[in-house]
């Protein structure tokens, strides 16, 4: 049985092309995926991301629990409202999910996990939370909108009362705060400035329409995917999963092996990988010829090593194809990609490809 967000009827009435995403019927695009992409790079777009799962953790030992549960160190969160991006690992260091954790108070942290993994995540979290006396509550009463783009913050704030608007506009990057009946965070998945807003589900349609009236463009998951890949951000299930560890997924920067005395799930496995050196790495590719890189295409290095595209697309900003690929470590020259039986040249670049509307690729 397909799941729907509170905005499903709006998506249908807007004529969105609907696709299945991890069991959820979600909008792929409303008009043109490329036009929606450019709207976010140039002005502002709004995405329904209510299919993602908001989980509130509460209990006196919540911080201690999270320091055990995830690979990044929640002790980096010293100021209220600050967010942390992290992986949640299994014992062998495979990625169960990637998530954002907001520090709201010493006994209250908020997690945002992926849609397709919500059920297994909740089971995993609850299984380990019990020993710490921590309760996990799924916030199905909330919807989540991502408003992204150079004008996103100003336009969103104009919907708020002056004092609330000022508070929202004062948020630093990667901070969130309760503002009126919203939880508003300066986070996103596009490489642009903007907000992610968690709000009572029954108000989501009204807010969406109000944003549209200000010129904020309705955007689907298609544009979300091209934007996040240009921004060099991983997609769970494509770029990492339970069979891959963070060091071969471009996520080594999210693993906190220091302090050495912190125990967390997957630590031993990751420490061995780190000591031996990861056999594989995730790299960025720009296709030098015409065509589109797509996941599962084979990558061939000059020395005979082979790898695979994990995410690939046409970049509307660069007007050429870009990708992430998992390849043997130390492939530093050009590679070839097998696209429908033809070997095409691709150049290795360090992601992100685009940040704040500007190409970072020469």
Partner 1 sequence: MSNIPADLKYTKSHEWVRELPDGTVEIGITDHAQHELGDLVFAEVPEAGRLLTAGEACAVVESVKAASDVYSPLAGEVTAGNPALAASPELINEDAFGRGWLLRLRPAGATHGALLSAAEYAALTSAEGF
3-state DSSP percent of the chain in helix, strand and coil, to 5: 25, 35, 40
Tell me, residue by residue from 83 to 122, as one string, x for binding to partner 1 by CB under 8 A and - for no binding: ----------------------------------------
Residue 36 or 248: which CB sits closer to partner 1?
Answer: 36
Applying the rule CB under 8 A, the residues between 119 and 138 that interact with partner 1 are none
Strand 217-219 to 45-48 pairing:
parallel
Map tokens 């090593």 to a residue. Answer: 305
Residue 29 or 148: which CB sits closer to partner 1?
Answer: 29
Applying the rule CB under 8 A, the residues between 31 and 70 that interact with partner 1 are 32-34
Instruction: Give phi and psi for 156, each to the nearest 5.
Output: -65, -45
State the minimum distance, in angstroms, from the CB of residue 33 to partner 1: 5
Tell me, residue by residue from 296 to 325, as one string, x for binding to partner 1 by CB under 8 A and - for no binding: -----------------xx-x---------
Residue 256 or 337: which CB sits closer to partner 1?
Answer: 337
Which residues are CB-neighbours of 166 under 8 A, at least 6 positions away?
none
Residue 37 or 67: which CB sits closer to partner 1?
Answer: 37
The pair of structure tokens assigned to 231 is 């921004």
State the minimum distance, in angstroms, from the CB of residue 225 to partner 1: 9
Applying the rule CB under 8 A, the residues between 335 and 354 that interact with partner 1 are 340
- Residue 343: CB atoms within 10 A of its CB come to 12
CA 72 to mean position of chain CA atoms: 16
CA 73 to mean position of chain CA atoms: 18
Which residues are CB-neighbours of 272 under 8 A, at least 6 positions away?
none
Residue 220 or 266: which CB sits closer to partner 1?
Answer: 220
Applying the rule CB under 8 A, the residues between 192 and 251 that interact with partner 1 are 222, 226
CA 355 to mean position of chain CA atoms: 15
Sequence-ordered alpha helix ranges (H) in the chain = 8-13, 33-42, 62-69, 118-129, 152-157, 162-169, 204-213, 221-230, 267-276
Applying the rule CB under 8 A, the residues between 153 and 172 that interact with partner 1 are none
The pair of structure tokens assigned to 118 is 């919500």
Residue 86 or 321: which CB sits closer to partner 1?
Answer: 321
Tell me, residue by residue from 253 to 292, as one string, x for binding to partner 1 by CB under 8 A and - for no binding: -------------------------------------xxx
> Are 103 and 77 spatial neighbours (Cβ–Cβ below 8 Å)?
yes
Which residues are CB-neighbours of 276 under 8 A, at least 6 positions away?
none
Size of the site for partner 1 (CB under 8 A): 16
Interacting residue with partner 1 among 17, 61, 128, 139 (CB under 8 A): 17
Q: Which stretch binds partner 1 (CB under 8 A): 30-38, 58-66, 67-75, 274-282?
A: 30-38
State the minimum distance, in angstroms, from the CB of residue 294 to partner 1: 8
- Assess 294 for contact with partner 1 (CB under 8 A): yes
State the minimum distance, in angstroms, from the CB of residue 299 to partner 1: 17
Map tokens 């031996």 to a residue. Answer: 276
Q: For the residues of 288-336, what is the DSSP string, one character each?
A: SSSS---TT-EEEETTS-EEEEEEEEEETTTTEEEEEEEEETT--S-EE
Residue 152 or 293: which CB sits closer to partner 1?
Answer: 293
Q: Which stretch binds partner 1 (CB under 8 A): 26-34, 96-104, 179-187, 298-306?
A: 26-34
Interacting residue ranges for partner 1, rule: CB under 8 A:
17, 28-29, 32-34, 222, 226, 290-292, 294, 313-314, 316, 340
């Amino acid at each position: 049985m397909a799941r729907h967000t509170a905005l499903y009827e709006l998506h249908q009435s807007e004529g969105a092309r609907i696709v299945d995403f991890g069991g959820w019927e979600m909008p792929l695009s409303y008009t043109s995926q490329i036009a929606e992409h450019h709207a976010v790079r140039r002005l502002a777009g709004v995405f329904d991301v209510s299919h993602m799962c908001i989980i509130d953790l509460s209990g006196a030992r919540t911080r201690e629990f999270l320091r055990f549960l995830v690979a990044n160190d929640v002790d980096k969160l010293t100021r209220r409202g600050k967010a942390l991006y992290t992986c949640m690992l299994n014992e062998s260091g495979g990625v169960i999910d990637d998530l954002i954790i907001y520090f709201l108070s010493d006994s209250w942290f908020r997690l945002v996990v992926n849609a397709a993994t919500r059920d297994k995540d909740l089971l995993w979290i609850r299984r380990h939370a019990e020993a710490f006396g921590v309760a996990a509550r799924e916030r199905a009463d909330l919807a989540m909108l991502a408003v992204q783009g150079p004008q996103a913050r100003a336009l969103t704030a104009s919907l708020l009362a002056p004092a609330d608007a000022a508070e929202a506009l004062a948020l630093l990057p990667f901070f969130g705060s309760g503002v009126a009946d919203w939880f508003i965070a300066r986070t996103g998945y596009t490489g642009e400035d903007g907000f992610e807003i968690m709000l009572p589900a029954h108000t989501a349609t009204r807010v969406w329409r109000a944003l549209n009236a200000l010129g904020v463009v309705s955007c689907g998951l298609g544009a979300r995917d091209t934007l996040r890949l240009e921004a060099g951000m991983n997609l769970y299930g494509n770029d990492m999963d339970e069979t891959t560890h963070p060091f071969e997924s471009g996520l080594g920067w999210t693993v906190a092996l220091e302090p050495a005395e912190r125990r967390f799930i997957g630590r031993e496995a990751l420490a061995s990988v780190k000591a031996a050196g990861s056999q594989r790495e995730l790299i960025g590719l720009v296709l030098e010829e015409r065509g589109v890189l797509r996941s599962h295409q084979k990558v061939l290095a000059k020395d005979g090593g082979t790898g695979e595209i994990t995410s690939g697309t046409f970049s509307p900003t660069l007007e050429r194809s870009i990708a992430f690929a998992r390849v043997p470590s130390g492939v530093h020259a050009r590679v070839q990609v097998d696209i429908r039986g033809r070997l095409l040249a691709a150049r290795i670049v360090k992601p992100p490809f685009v940040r704040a509307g500007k190409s970072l690729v020469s």
